[in-house]
Amino acid sequence: MSYTSADGRQQILDELATATEHLGVAVARLGEAYEALDEPTADRLEAELFRPLQAAYGTAQRTHSEFAARYGAPPRSFGQSSPGLPAAPREELDRSSEEIRTADETIATLQDSMLPVEVGDPELRAGLSRVRELIGPLPDRARGIVRVLGR
């Protein structure tokens, strides 16, 4: 089977969309946790997790849409993600961290595949790297917040 640049671009778009969707679910889960926390802990969650995750989510969406536009692919909208049934804040933080890790692994696999290099798109590569920079420390930060819950 022959591989084309169009196939590679579509694979990039599909994998980036998957990672972006995971980030959207992580944002929604953090929102659920935020609502159930006391004010000081909620403020910490917002500063240490929610803001950087929102930035990563926005960067992932923008990277996807700009890459699609550069190659004439149809735009994709990422709607409001549903976290599912609400759970205790600790569980929401754990689930959010898992979504973040899954997104990070998806982007890392995409980067390791060398597809972003093969299509010759430096803006795409920079966007992918930026998303990973933003989300990389978040699971550890979430663990730090989970450790103090209920104390």
Q: Give residue-wise pLDDT tens across range 62-80.
A: 999 999 999 998 888 887 7
Q: Residue 28 and residue 12: Cα distance in Å, rounded? A: 24
User: What confidence tier does 1 reach under pLDDT thresholds 50, 70, 90?
Assistant: very low
Q: Residue 118 and residue 130: Cα distance in Å, rounded? A: 19
DSSP per-residue string spanning 98-121: HHHHHHHHHHHHHHHTTHHHHTT-
Asked if residue 81 has pLDDT above 90, the reply is no
Q: Which two tokens stand for residue 147?
A: 């450790």
Q: Rounded mean pLDDT of the chain?
A: 90
Do the Cβ atoms of 123 and 67 come closer than 8 Å?
yes
Q: Give residue-wise pLDDT tens across range 4-39.
A: 788 889 999 999 999 999 999 999 999 999 998 999
